[in-house]
Every structure is written in structure tokens, then in C-alpha cells.
Amino acid sequence: MNSIVQYIQSYLASDKTPGAAGNMFWALVYIMLVFVGLSVAVIAMNWLERKILAHMQVRLGPMRVGPHGLLQPIADAIKLLLKEDIIPAEADGLIFWMAPFIVVLAAFTVFVVVPFGPTHAITDMNIGILFMLGVSSLSVLGIVMAGWASNSHYPLIGALRSSAQMVSYEVAMGLAVVSAILMTSLNATGTGTLSMIGIVQAQQAQGEWFIFKFFPLGLIAFFIFAVAMVAETNRAPFDLAEAESELTAGFHTEYSGFRWSLFFLAEYSAMIAVSSIAVTLWLGGWLRPFPNLLSGGIWELVFSFFPGVTFLFFAAICFYNTVRMPKHPLFRIQTIGLAAFGVVLALIGLVLFIPAVSMRVQDIFWFATKVAAFMYLYIWYRGTFPRYRFDQLMQMGWKVLLPMGLGVLILTASVALLQQKLWHP
């Protein structure tokens, strides 16, 4: 008994990820945490997308289920789970059945290496970024299978479109990633790293986010990645695979109920996954703003307040809206619900002010904030842009992003080589 407790406690003192430390128990705990956190994030994202998009479009969005529609995603989830699960008669049953699972599997597995903090990752792999790209490229398989197995024209065209699109943009994406990885090799040993944690540590060591490195080379690489990642996740303005005005719903036209919701889940977790790659490679991962410039005890203290203050701010918004709720008996439950939600947020915020907690959780907060900014960008795109046409999309991928990526890669390599030669003549 004692040894088990010791085994569990031993990790807390370690500065490695549970995977690297070889601690099975904490690895499992982390897997559960990531899984639950991701599911909550997808649910929150669902609500936020509808709400933000609605306000961009001068309407209110969900307002009925719960205060300000807060419970809408849950209602939707229940609806989807209770819906009839239809498999078309002419469909290839086994493949039709497997496809959504492969997509979800690929979308969730990548989070094994996502570094939410120096110790907050399930494991740190030597080939971390390669693993992420590789596994996320497997989701194409699921989409192709879904489109083909439906045995219907619209899904087939949707699947062909999305797989062609994803395979094409992976090339540009890979080049952008390589140019960021090249930047990690600017240290005394001259060797870079593919490890996600190593990449962030390299940015810390060099005192610069890679987006600002070799200005404007890092910025261009980041831009290429930012465009390619939207295409990679089949989101507006690159959502041709599910362009509802053309192909009704693309590859998941024939899916319904639970299976459809799996595609939905996969889409959003894939969005979070690619955003976390971008954050890790260019935006300093878990690093707080100005870790070197504004260092020292006081600044550490100030920045450690941020997570708590953010949650208190959200709680304040909740309370403000509680006060503004219509004073009508029908709204009583909603008002109480909103107040309770605010209280929960405020409590979380207060807990985050405890120094021990805030030190441990700060990294996750900064990482999540950066990812959330990307998520907002995704919604913003969707509200603003029309949809690209397929040939224009391909043209953009192969004739604009790919040459740009190659150019940036070559320039980055040259500059990096030059700098190394100057350092070690």
C-alpha cells in the first residue's frame, strides 16, 4: 500500500512528463484529463461558435435551453444520441461503421504529445511533431472510407475533394513545420529537435517566439501554416468537402445520429489539435508573454494572477447578466442557473489564486488561451469568407503556399547556417 502511494507521489516531484518518467498511473490520469478536457472544449466550442457567429450576424443564437443557451450543446448531444442510426441499405456496412471511429481515433490520439506545459503532456516523444502530423494524416483515411462506403454520389465527391485537399495542404504544412524545426537547431550543439516540448524549450532558450525569429521568415512560415491548417481541418473558407450548398453535407451526408456526432467531435478536436501545433511551433507553447524580458519575482507574481483574474472576469460577466435577466417567474430557474454558473467560475478563479495551484496550472492557462485565440479565428473566418472553389483551392495550395514554403525553408536554412558559422567560426 505504502509503495503504491509512494509510486504515485514520486512523480509529483519529477520535472518530466508521466510518459517520459515511466509512471503508468499518472499517464492514465493525464489521458483521462486530456480526454475529458477535450470533450468539454468541444462542447464549449460548439456553444461559442454558435453564439459568436450569431452575434456577428446580428442575431442572438441559442437562447432557450438554459441561460443564454448555455445548455444547448448538451441538448444537442442528447438529441443526437437518441436519433435513429441509419445505415443505407446499399452501403458497405463494415467500412461505414469503422470510418467515424478512425476519424475520432486519429483526432484524439494526436493529443498524446501536445505539451500543455513542460510537465503537462501525456508523454514527450522524440518524434513528437512527426507523430502529430502522421496521425492526423490518418484521419483522411476515415473520411475517404466514409465517403466511399456510403455508396452515394455526394459523399463520394466530398470524400475525394477532402482527401485531395488534405493531402495537398499537408505538403505546404510540412514545409512550414520544417522551417520552424530548423530554428530549434540554433543552439550550442547545433542539433535541433522534433520533440514538442523540446521545441518550446528552444524558444525559451533563444528568448524569442519563432513567429518573430528571422523576421519576417518565421511570420511567413506561420502564415503558411495558419492557412494550411484551416484547409487541413476542412473549415470555412476551405470547407468544400462539406459545402452544403453544393454537396449537401459532403462525406457525412449519409451519416446520422451518433456516428454523425463522432465526425463532429473529430472535426473540432482536429481544429484544437492543429491549433496547438501552431501554438507550440510559433507562439511559444505554454510560455507566458515576455518570460525573459519581464522576469523576476514581481512579474512572476503578476502573471500568476492572470488565470484567476480571467475566471473572475467571466464570473463577473455571468453576474452582470444575472442582474439583467428579465424579472419574470418563468425566468427564475434560468436566473438561478446563470448565477450558479457564475459562482462556479468565481470559485475556480479563487482556487487559481492559491500559489501552489497557480504555479502548476499557469502553463495550461497560457496554452489554452493561445489555442482559444485560434478557435476564435476559425469562427471569424466562417463569418466573413465565402467558400473557395476546388480548383482555386488547389491552385492556392500548390502554386502559392508550396513555393512560398520552399522559399522560406531555403532562406531559413541559409540564415540559420550563416548564424551558426558566425557563432562557431
Partner 1 sequence: MTESDSALSHLDLETPEKPFLDANELVINMGPQHPATHGVLRVILRLDGEKVLGLECVIGYLHRGVEKIGEHRTYTMFNPYVDRMDYVAAVSNGLGYCETIEKLLNVEAPPRAQYVRVILTELNRIASHQLWLGTHALDIGAITPLFYTFRDREEILKIYEKYCGARLTTHAFRIGGLQYETYAGFEQDVRNFLNFFLPKIDEYEELLTTNRIWVERTRNVGIISGKDCIALGVTGPVLRASGVKWDLRKAQPYANYKNFDFDIPIGQNGDTYDRYLVRVAEMRQSVRIIEQAVEAIPEGPIMAKVPKVIKPAVGEVYHSIEAPKGELGYFVVSDGSTQPYRVRVRPPSFVNLQALDKMCRGQLVADVIAVIGTLDIVLGEVDR
Partner 2 sequence: MAPVATPFFFYLLSGIMLIGGILVITRKNPVHSALALIVTLLAQASIYLMLYAPFVAGVQIILYAGGIMVLFLFVIMLVSIDRSIKERQFNSQWVVGIIAATALGGLFIAAFTKGDKIFPEHVLPMVENDNTQNIATLLYGQYMFAFEIASLLLLVAIIGAVVMAKKRI
Rounded-to-integer distance, Cα 72 and Cα 76, Å: 6
| Residue 336 CB neighbour total at 10 angstroms | 13
Q: Smallest gap, in angstroms, from Cβ of residue 214 to partner 1? A: 28
Question: Grid coordinates representing 188?
Answer: 550550442
- Binding residue (CB under 8 A) for partner 2 from 44, 160, 226, 343: 160
User: Which of 34, 104, 121, 135 forms a contact with partner 2 (CB under 8 A)?
Assistant: 135
Task: Convert residues 170-209 into a mask of x (bound to partner 2 by CB under 8 A) and - (unbound).
Answer: x--------------------x--x---------------
The window from 61-69, 156-164, 352-360, 366-374 that contacts partner 2 (CB under 8 A) reads 156-164
372 binds partner 2 (CB under 8 A): no
Return the one option of partner 1, partner 2, none that residue 172 interacts with (CB less than 5 to 8 A, by type).
none
Return the number of the residue (329 or 386) whose C-beta is nearest partner 1.
Answer: 386
Residues 6+ apart with CB under 8 A from 245: 387
Q: Work out whether 238 is an interface residue with partner 2 (CB under 8 A).
A: no
Q: Summarize as ranges the residues that interact with partner 1 (CB under 8 A).
A: 53, 56-59, 153-154, 157, 236-237, 239-240, 243-246, 248, 382-392
Closest to 279 measured CA to CA, from 371, 195, 351: 371
Task: Determine, following the binding rule CB under 8 A, whether residue 138 of this chain makes contact with partner 2.
Answer: yes
Q: Output the smallest distance, CB 420 to partner 2, in A.
A: 15
Q: Establish if 29 lies at the interface with partner 2 (CB under 8 A).
A: no
Q: Pick from 10, 14, 39, 137 the residue near partner 2 by CB under 8 A.
A: 137
Given partner 2, partner 1, none, residue 202, with its beta carbon under 5 to 8 Å by kind, binds none
Stretch touching partner 2 by CB under 8 A, among 144-152, 235-243, 278-286, 382-390: 144-152
- Binding partner of 145, given partner 1, partner 2, none, CB within 5-8 angstroms per partner class: partner 2
Radius of gyration of the chain measured on its C-alpha atoms: 23
Nearer to partner 2, 180 or 338 (CB): 180
Binding site for partner 2 (CB under 8 A): 19-20, 22, 92, 95, 125-127, 130-131, 133-135, 137-138, 140-141, 144-145, 147-148, 156, 159-160, 163-164, 167, 170, 191, 194
